[in-house]
């Protein structure tokens, strides 16, 4: 048990309006923050760091300490019930402890990591509770954190929150001290990079600590170093797209928050005859129809994949044998495409072959919806036969509806009825199709398909004088 220390204030106070001296009894714990004086004793039991941490600021000006640890916390609203008055005089300087590098309630005060560029700052976390809720706050201090950067899981009592920041990720991984309800909320304040994760307590008891740390808890390391994390997802639907390709809908567990960013893939894992088989797949949208843009299923609860079944393949025949209601393990997303590559673009060219169309789905949709500078999007879609073309009707429908979008189908094994273009990727085809309409227009070319297709495409685009920055190829 903590022993409460009483400490009076060595300086006079003013109440907000009246100039009057206040006296605080020795049982109360006054603390100053930005010139405001709080009696923090009622807050003791809610403070995430416990009494000892709060007592470090008691009886003194806690502004510096507060800034070090809680700079992003809105203490004015949180402690408003504890406000006693405002400082009348500047407090006498209080000798400061050297708080550097001392872990506070799981908060690494270490501000820089040795393997990070100097400007990168290590994130930290804090938590607090009310009678029914536990709120975990992660201060990433990064401006480009959005809902896609936050991955939350809760499985078998273990809580895991990963915040992806460029090639790094910050991980909270703990076995919670108490049970929670199946209803986790995650919010991101994009301007400050503050992430709030709200857990609902199962029984309204006060938590003394958040949980027991698990592997890599409170670490900020290269994203890849952590390995892939999987959760079991339920197959909820399976719809034919072509003779050998289907659209599968997978439902995330209720406590998982995960959105697959544009251009990224996940790994699906199945255990077949005691052996684990893992293959990458690029999630798509439910459909390209804009009238279905209000999705039937919210983006952060369902993952859609278009998968071609190869009868002699290692993974796909087993995956296709799954029945509705069966489970498959799905990893966290990976990939090096950045949404920012679509910013300020004027022309977007998509070169896809077979299921290499899958990354183009979200890119196409995002660019047409969000890139205001965009004047033209052209998809060149290579397939063997007409019956292999994925979402042909939807693509034609989109081209009819949106004048910025054009699609061309090129078949390598057409029937004699085919009147469209034929062949494989080649210089004559590309030089006509991938052409800047203005000399200096901002262009991006995305390419995806079988490895020889992609490699040849990259070579040809180089010959056509497109720069490396203007070409993005999707590989494993």
Binding site for ligand NAD (CB under 6 A): 265, 282, 308, 353-356, 358-359, 382-384, 388, 412, 424-425, 448-450, 452-453, 456, 474-476
Closer residue to ligand FAD, CB minimum distance, 314 or 427: 314
Q: Is 435 marked within a binding site? A: no
- Token couple for 259: 């959105």
Tell me if 303 is assigned to a ligand binding site. Answer: no
Using a 10 angstrom Cβ sphere, with 0-12 exposed, 13-18 middle and 19 or more buried, the burial of residue 397 is: middle
| Number of helical H runs and strand E runs in the chain | 8, 25
CB of 361 to ligand FAD, least distance (A): 9
Distance CA 458, CA 447 (A): 8
Binding mask 210-249 for ligand FAD (x = CB under 6 A): ----------------------------------------
User: How many chain residues touch ligand FAD (CB under 6 A)?
Assistant: 18
Can you spell out the DSSP letters for 122-149?
--EEEEEE-SSEEEEEEE---TT--GGG
Q: How far apart are the first and last CA of the chain?
A: 54
Q: Which does 383 bind (CB under 5 to 8 A by kind): ligand FAD, ligand NAD, none?
A: ligand NAD
Q: Are 136 and 127 in contact (CB under 8 A)?
A: yes
Per partner kind, with CB cut-offs from 5 to 8 A, the member of ligand NAD, ligand FAD, none near residue 382 is ligand NAD
Residue 425 structure tokens: 């990727």
In the DSSP assignment, the letter for residue 91 is P
d(CA 172, CA 219): 7
* CB-nearest residue to ligand NAD: 354
Residues 6+ apart with CB under 8 A from 400: none
| Bridge partners, 350 (sequence order) | 379, 446
- Which one of ligand FAD, ligand NAD, none interacts with residue 337, CB within 5 to 8 A by kind? none
306 binds, among ligand NAD, ligand FAD, none (CB under 5 to 8 A by kind): ligand FAD
Q: How many CB atoms lie within 10 A of CB 81?
A: 10
425 vs 417: CA distance, rounded Å: 21
- Does 269 help bind ligand FAD (rule: CB under 6 A)? no
Q: How far apart are CA 212 and CA 176, in angstroms?
A: 7
308 annotated as a binding-site residue: yes
Residue 472 makes contact with ligand FAD by CB under 6 A: no
| Residue nearer to ligand NAD on the CB measure, 136 or 425 | 425
Helix (H, G, I), strand (E, B) or coil at 110: coil
- Angular region, 115: left φ>0, alpha ψ -120 to 50, beta rest: alpha
Q: Is 180 annotated as a binding residue?
A: no
Closer by beta carbon to ligand NAD, 104 or else 444? 444
Q: Is 355 in the site for ligand FAD (CB under 6 A)?
A: yes
DSSP assignments along 180-243, one per residue: B-S--EEEEETTTTEEEEEEEBSS-PPPSSSEEE-TTTTEEEEGGGG---EEEEEEEEEEESSS
**Residue 354: which of ligand NAD, ligand FAD, none does it interact with, CB under 5 to 8 A by kind?**
ligand NAD
Nearer to ligand NAD among residue 93 and residue 476 (C-beta): 476
Q: Is 314 in the site for ligand FAD (CB under 6 A)?
A: yes
- Binding-site partner at residue 307 among ligand NAD, ligand FAD, none, CB < 5 to 8 Å by type: ligand FAD
Which region among 46-54, 133-141, 302-310, 373-381 touches ligand FAD (by CB under 6 A)?
A: 302-310
Q: Is 154 marked as a binding-site residue?
A: no
Among 227, 280, 423, 450, binds ligand FAD (CB under 6 A): 280
Smallest gap from residue 386 Cβ to ligand NAD (A): 11
Contact between 308 and ligand FAD per CB under 6 A: yes
Q: Which residues are annotated as a binding site?
A: 280-281, 306, 308, 358
Q: Which residues are annotated as a binding site for FAD?
A: 280-281, 306, 308, 358
Residues that bind ligand FAD (CB under 6 A): 265, 279-282, 305-308, 310, 312-316, 355, 358, 476
């Amino acid at each position: 048990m903590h022993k409460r220390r009483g400490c009076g204030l060595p300086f006079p106070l003013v109440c907000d309006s009246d100039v009057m001296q206040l006296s605080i009894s020795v049982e109360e714990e006054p603390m100053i923050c930005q010139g405001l004086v709080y009696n923090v004793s009622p807050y003791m039991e809610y403070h995430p760091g416990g009494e000892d941490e709060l007592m470090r600021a008691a009886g003194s000006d806690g502004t510096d300490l507060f800034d070090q640890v809680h700079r992003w916390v809105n203490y004015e609203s949180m402690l408003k019930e504890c406000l006693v008055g405002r400082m009348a005089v500047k407090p006498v300087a209080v000798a400061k402890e050297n708080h550097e590098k001392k872990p506070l309630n799981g908060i690494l005060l270490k501000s820089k990591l040795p393997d990070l560029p100097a400007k990168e700052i290590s994130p930290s976390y804090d938590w607090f509770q009310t009678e029914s809720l536990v709120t975990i706050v992660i201060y990433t201090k990064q401006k480009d954190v959005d809902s896609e950067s936050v991955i939350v899981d809760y499985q078998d009592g273990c809580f895991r929150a990963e915040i992806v920041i460029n090639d790094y990720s910050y991980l909270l991984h703990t076995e919670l001290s108490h049970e929670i309800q199946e209803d986790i909320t995650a919010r991101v304040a994009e301007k400050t990079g503050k992430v709030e994760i709200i857990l609902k307590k199962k029984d309204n008891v006060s938590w003394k600590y958040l949980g027991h740390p698990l592997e890599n808890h409170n670490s900020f390391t290269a994203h890849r170093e952590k390995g892939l994390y999987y959760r079991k997802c339920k197959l909820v639907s399976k719809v034919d797209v072509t003779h050998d390709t289907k659209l599968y809908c997978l439902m995330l567990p209720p406590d998982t928050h995960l959105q697959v960013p544009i251009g990224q893939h996940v790994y699906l894992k199945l255990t077949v005859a005691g052996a684990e088989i893992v293959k990458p797949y690029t999630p798509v949208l439910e459909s390209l129809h804009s009238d279905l843009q209000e999705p039937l299923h919210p983006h952060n609860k369902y993952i859609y994949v278009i998968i071609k079944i190869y009868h002699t393949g290692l993974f796909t025949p087993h995956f296709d044998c799954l029945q509705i209601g069966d489970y498959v393990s799905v990893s966290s997303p990976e990939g090096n495409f950045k949404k920012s590559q679509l910013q300020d673009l004027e022309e977007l060219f998509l070169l896809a072959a077979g299921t290499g169309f899958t990354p183009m789905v979200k890119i196409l949709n995002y660019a047409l919806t969000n890139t205001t500078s965009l004047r033209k999007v052209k998809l060149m879609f290579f397939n063997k036969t007409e019956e292999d073309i994925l979402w042909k009707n939807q693509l034609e429908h989109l081209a009819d509806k949106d004048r910025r979008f054009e699609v061309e189908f090129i078949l390598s094994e057409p029937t004699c009825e085919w009147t469209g273009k034929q062949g494989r990727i080649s210089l004559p085809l590309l030089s006509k199709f991938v052409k800047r309409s203005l000399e200096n227009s901002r262009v991006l070319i995305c390419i995806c398909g079988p490895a020889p297709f992609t490699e040849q495409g990259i070579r040809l685009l180089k010959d056509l004088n497109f720069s490396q920055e203007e070409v993005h190829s999707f590989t494993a």
